[in-house]
Chain A
């Protein structure tokens, strides 16, 4: 149970980063920490004590870990990279136009 609580604490640290920080790169870092925490939590849910990786050897009777959360996390990791790349490209374009990463100054300059 304490592993679940630690995963939720990691998610909460990422959430704190998104709410409080005012540098765009720090906000992106907070989003990435949240995404790592969610993948970690999903992989923790599917673990079975004494289980083996879900590769079946025909003829032997084994205990496997749950393969369904692994299938979910496998695509989630690659999608996370796509999302991060798009966010970073937006941040780079904003820096090119306003010459700062600070979200308060970006809000002030309009037009």
Chain B
């Protein structure tokens, strides 16, 4: 199981860097997403993002790591144009988000948030089928897609007729991921998707994410403040601090870095492991 290799690799051995870099290297030269000198300040308020430059390759998992208020979530929302840059441009598939038809843009970008935001009045089936239905797929095609996605995220097809409130937190987040993958978008944005889950479920979902990404090779931008999650899932880690990109490393480089800020992150992770006993294989 490659995902297991990745899992253990990220936690200690050095095998992971080799496995992971191969994904990034085979990506086509033009980045899937690119931030060019992007700044963002909400009306009159101080800047949340300052002169932000970052290219995200096709098929890689890029983790935006940073503490709360560092601008991670804002960067994510700039990609699907939930917010627009004050200056600079965000390029998605070679076109500025300002030039994209915003609905077309968003429909090719899956979006998963921590609060999940499943529609409480829709069954699991309708939630997952949201975008396919809006895109007017035939009912047979929608049904087949929903079944495919349910098994992809490890859910019993019988759950299709349930309502979100009848599911556990882990199941809901799985549905959230399935919904984001609904119309097979090439890009996936994930904003602390596993943050609200209990540690065991979180580990389970992180592991499944890895094996899923192994198969799908989407361009994933993943926001987290959890350095262990970043090390585990990332092809590259973009470290953010007060609205700036301060470092861009592979997990391997990240762990070897002498940067005091990174050391602080790694230390906090180490004490965390000792505190709750997780993460040691």
Asked if A pairs with B, the answer is: no
**Which A residues contact B (CB, under 8 angstroms)?**
none
**Which B residues contact A (CB, under 8 angstroms)?**
none
